[in-house]
Structure 1
Amino acid sequence: MTKAAGPSRRSERSRVAILRAALELCREQGFGGVTIEKIAARAGVGKPTIYRWWSSKHAVILDAFMEHIATELSFPETGDHLEDLRGWLHSVARVLAESSMGPLIAGVVGAAQYDPALAAEFHQRVYLPTRQTTIARIRRIQDEGRLPDLSPDTLADLITGPIWFRLLVAGDPPGPDYVDTVLAAVASQRFPASAGGEALQ
């Protein structure tokens, strides 16, 4: 006789099914076409099960997005801070170049321009943690004299901005060679002492 799964196991199975369903629906229908009802139907759960863990479809989709890319976008720690930054940027470019993830990320960013709730979730859970980690790494590289003496906040814009421009505006996610070119160009420049704004605290 097969022993029935306990509540915690059933809950985890439902959680995984919900996150998988949210990602699948985003890929198939775009962010705007996804609803809690569709996620529940695809995952084989009731809407109350979803609302027990998440307040909105935004929260579900961001959880699904973050869980899917968490291991791929973690900062390496080898002791060579510049190479760690390069490796992280390569992983960002690799994720953006995926046929399923690039359009999904672009769709979430685009939808956030018209959806204050999604914008707030994305800012707090995706942008700020990534930005703070990037700036902390840039400061370490500056301490080693391997990046210009410029506001770390501005350097983060110069290094990561072109990657997002290529995805969101040009529709052409960059590859590792492009990332290396941007990083080398920024690292080789000498800027006026007054250039840049205040660093992110």
Structure 2
Amino acid sequence: MTEKTKPPARRGRPRSLESEAAILQTAYRLAAGEGLGAASIDAIARDSQVSKMTIYKWWPSREALLIDAFLRQAAALLPLPDEGEPLAILRDHAAGYAKLLNEDFGRVQRAIIAECIATAGTAALFADRYLAARRQLGVALIRRGQAQGTIRSGVAAADLYDRIYGTLFYQSLFGWRAVTPRYARALVDSVLTGR
């Protein structure tokens, strides 16, 4: 490598995975246990034993940190595996999401979205940092099922994904119906197979 092609040296110490995990765990625990108000940068730094400067260095805002903490929790509680039968994976995933919408997870999700809207006037940060990655995985599963013939074709995979998860979130948010795992499985079958 010549001087011109050598990448610039990184400043500071590399991010510690252990510290990052402690910060994200603490942020989610405080938000779930005591509400978003308790999940201040001061409280997260104190409880995770990491400096506020480190947190501000790694996350551009409190909202970004809370979204990443939520994303970590979602990945642990609601994995979207890329191996297996797509329709069965999506049935199980939607059922798990429906169950969690009625627990702390759902309350934290709604609170983070509300804070993003209140702070920035939009939920774009939540969509960019959380929804986009999850949606991409779900859409890929639907496309695979369409290619295999187990999921109806003729409708864009992204539209089918949005019909399932948009419906579950909307109905949960406004309390139009009790969103249950059984209802979620039936919704997946209805949207993806027409049954």
TM-score norm. by structure 2 comes to 0.77
Q: Residue 188 of structure 1: CA displacement?
A: 4.8
CA distance in 1: counterparts of 2:50 and 2:158, whole angstroms: 44
CA contact (8 A) 2:138 2:161 kept: yes
CA contact (8 A) 1:14 1:45 kept: yes
Structure 2 residue ranges without an equivalent (≥5): 1-12
SS at match of 2:81: coil
Give distance in 1, aligned partners of 2:18 and 2:163: 42
2:114 aligns with 110
Contact 2:64–2:129 under 8 Å retained in 1: no
**Matching of residues 85-124 of structure 1 within 5 Å:** 85-97=90-102, 99-116=103-120, 119-124=123-128
1:104 to partner: Cα distance: 0.5
Q: In the alignment, which of 133, 152, 167 is matched to residue 172 of structure 2?
A: 167
Alpha-carbon distance between aligned partners in 1 of 2:56 and 2:29, rounded to the nearest angstrom: 19
CA deviation after TM superposition for structure 1 residue 161, in Å: 1.8
Q: Choose 46-55 or 122-131, whichever is displaced more.
A: 46-55
TM-score, with length taken from structure 1: 0.75
User: In structure 2, what is the equivalent of residue 183 of structure 1?
Assistant: 188
SS of equivalent residue, structure 1 residue 183? helix
Q: Which structure 1 residue ranges, 4+ long, deviate > 4 Å from structure 2?
A: none
Structure 1 distance, partners of 2:78, 2:160, is: 19
Q: Provide Cα deviations, 1:115-153, integer angstroms capped at 9, x if missing partner.
A: 338833322221111122222222222231532522223
- Verify the 8 A CA contact 1:96 1:173 in the aligned structure 2: no
8 Å contact kept, 1:89–1:179:
yes
**What residue in structure 2 maps to residue 146 of structure 1?**
151
For residues 47-75 of structure 1, give each alpha carbon's deviation from its aligned partner in whole angstroms, at most 9, with x where no partner exists. 11322322221222122212222132222
What is the CA–CA distance in structure 1 between the aligned matches of 2:24 and 2:176, rounded to whole Å?
Answer: 26
SS of structure 1 residue aligned to 2:60 = coil
> How large is the Cα RMSD of the aligned pairs?
2.9
Match of 2:77 in 1: 72
Within 1, Cα distance between the matches of 2:163 and 2:68? 28
**What does residue 45 of structure 2 align with?**
40
Distance 1:176 1:44, change over 3 A: same
Amino acid at match of 1:26: A
* Pairing partner for 2:23 from 18, 24, 32: 18
